[in-house]
Chains A and B, each alone.
Chain A
Amino acid sequence: MTVKPTLIASLFALLVGFGIGLAYAWVILPVQSVDAQPRVLRNDFKDDFRSAIAAAYASNADLERARSRLDQLGDPDPYQALSAQAQRMLAAGEPMESVQKVALLASALQEMQPVAIEPSATETPVPLNTPEETGQPPDSETDTAETPEPTTEAEPVSTSAPAMTTTPRPSRTPTPTLGAPYQLVGEDPVCDPELEEGLLQVVVTDLSRRQIPGAEIIIVWNSGEEHIFTGLKPELGHGYADFLMTPGVAYSVRMADGGTPASELSAPDCTTTDGEPYVGGMRITFQQP
């Protein structure tokens, strides 16, 4: 069987032409992104959007509207996204008021979830703070409407019309209380040789025992003071924070928003099953009434 040279050359020309066309359409003059949706925003802009959603929620307490807006960002788990953002904001030293608004919205979303995350007692947390430290509208699928740059050549033009929709109406429900005083509901020595010696674990929850991220805790001892925040170790719980106590030093722990403090806390003496002494830790729980 023989194939005509012209046919081979034509096929080759077809492939070359296709390649050139593809390079032109993808590299030289790709379609321009206009009329895009929030879910394709850069991550830092998504943070800006979440902050704005949280600020609006702090004003109108409309959780449905906030949820609808969060859905636009396409986060697989808006609660996790908000919690992680609150932690990033804390770490970046952003104003506490802004962090609290994001944390408040996260907490409100968590209340709609059936299971609260509790830190596992068997996990070995890595202490974050030590006394030595001085011391964070519409709802639719993603499809960027695309309109090429205007040129004299024929180019694809997308004409997708904006959705004429608005987000749900605010329902003017009562605004959640920011900064309500906390009560000390648990104060227990922890003798676990797997844990860091002198580990002070603090858990902050709301009335429904759901953990609250971004809550500020003040730890005071005779020669110093430390401020720590919940939520910086989400793997141990969004309302979890910890601190390393020095053996023999008495500490007072309270929430920055006020409430009952835990006083005269110190690292307990513990003994292993082999009779070896070691320094234990403490676990205290604050609850927002």
Chain B
Amino acid sequence: MPRWIPIFIAALLGLALGLVYGWRIAPVQYTDITPDVLRIDYRTDYVLMVAEAYRVEEDPMLAAQRLAVFGSEPPALIAEEAYDYARQTSYPADDLSLIQELMVALQAWQPILGTNQP
């Protein structure tokens, strides 16, 4: 057997071990993340908070500003995604109603151009 073969196999084995260790055993830990990578249930709960506040405040602009933490996605779309998830996962009817109310308000809301809108 040529001498380089065991060396090559050892190198491949080391590479594989390094990948397994770096991806599986001790992967990079993220901190200081942005809300757009939150798990869908957390996102939905945040939208629910905004919806709860909206029911009293009745200020779609403020609600849209709060939803802007998720990035440049239209706030109505964010609310819609949350509503879909909440419906699929059988959120209580009251909560569904709150999110729906917010979703409808944001769909009808037209941001004023020229101002700081999300």
Contacts and interface: CB of A to CB of B under 8 A. Distances in A.
Contacts of B53: 52, 55-56, 58-59
Interface in A217-248: none
Contacts of B3: 6
A120 B116 CA distance: 45
Interface in B74-113: 86, 89, 91-92, 94-95
Given A55-B49, A138-B45, A42 B34 contact: yes
Interface in A58-92: 58-60, 69, 72
Interface in A10-39: 10-11, 13-26, 30-31, 33-38
A285 interface: no
Interface stretch (A122-130, A161-169, A252-260, A265-273): A161-169
B17 A17 contact: yes
A154 to B, nearest CB: 9
Task: Count chain B CB atoms within 10 A of each CB in A13, A15, A16, A148 and give the residue with the most.
Answer: A13
B34 A13 contact: no
A145 interface: yes
Contacts of A22: 18-19, 21-22
Given A31-B23, A40-B31, A156-B23, A60 B41 contact: no
B27 A25 contact: yes
Contacts of B15: 17-18, 20-21
A176 interface: no
B32 A138 contact: no
B13 A14 contact: yes
Interface residues of B, number: 54
Contacts of A36: 30, 33, 37-39
Given A18-B17, A59-B56, A69-B49, A162 B39 contact: yes
Q: Majority SS of interface residues in chain B? A: helix
B14 A18 contact: yes
B49 A52 contact: yes
Nearest to A7: B6
Nearest to B50: A52
A147 to B, nearest CB: 10
A24 B22 contact: yes
B31 A16 contact: no
Contacts of A45: 33-35, 69
Contacts of A18: 14-15, 17-18, 21
Contact of B41 (A19, A146, A162): A162
Given A13-B8, A138-B42, A25 B18 contact: yes
Contacts of B32: 40-43
B19 to A, nearest CB: 4
16 contacts: A9-B7, A16-B11, A21-B16, A25-B19, A25-B22, A36-B33, A37-B42, A38-B38, A40-B33, A41-B33, A45-B69, A49-B69, A56-B48, A156-B23, A162-B40, A170-B94
Given A13-B14, A41-B35, A58-B56, 14 more contacts: A10-B7, A16-B11, A30-B27, A33-B30, A36-B33, A48-B66, A56-B48, A59-B52, A144-B29, A156-B24, A162-B40, A163-B39, A164-B41, A169-B94
